[in-house]
Amino acid sequence: MKLKVGQARVSIERGDITDWEVDAIVNAANSTLAMGAGVAGAIKRKGGVLIEEEAMRQGPVEVGEAVLTTGGNLAATHVIHAALMGPDLKTDGDKIATTTRAVLALADKRRITSLALPALGTGVGHVPPQVSAEAMLNAVVEHLRAGQSSLRRVVFVLYQDEAHKAFIATLKRLGGVQ
């Protein structure tokens, strides 16, 4: 499923985000930037502990902020750590939208052209996939429609069926079946 927005293509794919060959993948982080379970744990296992060490040297950060590290042993060149929850591990659609906008701003600042994102907040944060899809896709489409973005490819790499279905339904509603 794909949607062309400005100069970029937004797509929804199934898979393991740690396998994607892009400029940067996004890690669903907490404000301490410690990498524990879920997507963060998978990134740390495959990419190496260096990623977590580099992230934690830049933290702690406020919820809604994002930092960039190396991709370590991953296919991706970088990891953007998106702090969408504090130590309480609670988040919501507004925090997910704010954090997604911070990720996009950092990607533009670093001239990143390809970005892979998971369904932020749907794991440890216990946010329903539909809420994550609405928050993230609206932020991405709005950002790309504004123009001036370095991004040319934005892919949502989803591991769970429920998230995949929610993101496809939301993207279809936002305008594109291709």
CATH classification of the domain holding 129:
3.40.220.10
Give the pLDDT confidence of 2-57 residue by residue, as tens digits.
Answer: 889 889 999 999 999 999 999 999 999 999 999 988 889 999 999 999 999 999 99
Give the pLDDT confidence of 109-126 residue by residue, as tens digits.
Answer: 999 999 999 999 998 899
- Confirm whether pTM is higher than 0.85: yes
Query: Rounded mean pLDDT of the chain?
Result: 94
Q: Looking at the predicted structure, is the pLDDT value of residue 178 above 50?
A: no
Q: Report the alpha-carbon distance of residue 112 to residue 151 in Å, rounded.
A: 6
The total of structural domains in the chain comes to 1
What range defines the domain where residue 35 resides? 2-174
| Complete DSSP assignment for 157-177 | EE-SHHHHHHHHHHHHHHT--
* 3-state DSSP of 86-136: CCCCCCCHHHHHHHHHHHHHHHHHCCCCEEEECCCCCCCCCCCHHHHHHHH
